[in-house]
Amino acid sequence: MINKVWLVTGASQGLGLVVTKKLLDNGHQVIATSRNKDKIISEIGENPNLLAVEMDMTDSKSIKNAIDKGIEKFSTIDILLNNAGYGQLWTFEETSEEEVMKNINANLIGTMNVVRNVLPYMRKQKYGHIFVTSSAWGFKTVPYNSIYAAVKFGLDGFAEGISHELKPLGISVSSVKPGGFRTNFLKEESLVTGNNVIADYAQARDEWVNTVKSWNGYQDGNPEKYAELLIELSSQNEIPANIFAGRDAYGLAKEKLDILQKDIKDLESKATNLHFEG
């Protein structure tokens, strides 16, 4: 395997940290970003193949500065893993506009700005691969997940959209849709709930939120195997455009496909008879 330069966002914890460690173990060079670079260094230690750099996903200048520092050290970026983000569970009506925009800015706009700042270097070298981390919940959503789903559905569409623009330039794009992996994602620092409460929603919403939180530490997915999968795929000549990761992700995908196929079939005769005649 040819060693490559990776940019990994959200590398101080969760899947980003595990992938970063695995990349270094395999001899790759990593630009690892986080709001707190010292946390990356404390988790990994000093390594000549590692550049830990601070990046605030809601600050476009911070994003550009971090990428510039990575280029200064390693001269290139071969693979971008957009991993940074956080989850959000609550009803839509109980979620304020401010909370919605905060999630959109961090998860969606931030990812777009990382891609925007990496593309000039990938265009110049005429190759590169971009992993955009969506979610299994960004393909088939679950209850009380409207904001997170909207963001992750958006990232899914963004990845597919730019893939058409970038393919002629030698740059490929994948949307990664992980299921549940045994990380800190379901802890308070990574999963946000709300403060506004509407009584009509309270009982059912609280039951579901508590159920999701109870999965912490019992998720089916092994983060080490997730990291190994991405590294293995990155060495292929053609990397799949859609990567469902985990047994639960495949289960949700198949449920959604069944729903889509049924809806398409049930409406086909009527919905395909809406054209002008003659």
Query: What is residue 187's predicted lDDT score, i.e. its pLDDT?
Result: 76
Query: What is residue 190's predicted lDDT score, i.e. its pLDDT?
Result: 73
Backbone angles phi, psi at 16, to 5 degrees: -60, -40
Query: What is residue 160's predicted lDDT score, i.e. its pLDDT?
Result: 98
Give one DSSP letter per residue of 82-117, joined into a string.
E----EE-S-STTS-HHHHHHHIIIIIIHHHHHHHH
Taking only Cα atoms into account, the Rg of the chain, rounded to an integer number of angstroms, comes to 20
Query: What is residue 150's predicted lDDT score, i.e. its pLDDT?
Result: 96
Give the span between the Cα atoms of 37 and 42, in whole angstroms.
9
Query: What is residue 186's predicted lDDT score, i.e. its pLDDT?
Result: 72
Give one DSSP letter per residue of 29-87, joined into a string.
EEEEEES-HHHHHHHH---TTEEEEE--TT-HHHHHHHHHHHHHHHS--SEEEE----E
| pLDDT tens sequence for the chain (278 residues) | 578 999 999 999 999 999 999 999 999 999 999 999 999 999 999 999 999 999 999 999 999 999 999 999 999 999 999 999 999 999 999 999 999 999 999 999 999 999 999 999 999 999 999 999 999 999 999 999 999 999 999 999 999 999 999 999 999 999 999 999 998 877 777 788 999 999 999 999 999 999 999 998 889 999 999 999 999 999 999 999 999 999 999 999 999 999 999 999 999 999 999 999 88
Q: Element (H or E) spanning 262, and its range? A: helix 247-271
Q: Element (H or E) spanning 226, and its range? A: helix 223-234
Whole-prediction pTM value? 0.94
Query: What is residue 241's predicted lDDT score, i.e. its pLDDT?
Result: 97
- CATH fold group of domain 5-271: Rossmann fold (3.40.50)
Active-site annotation, residues: 12, 134, 148, 152
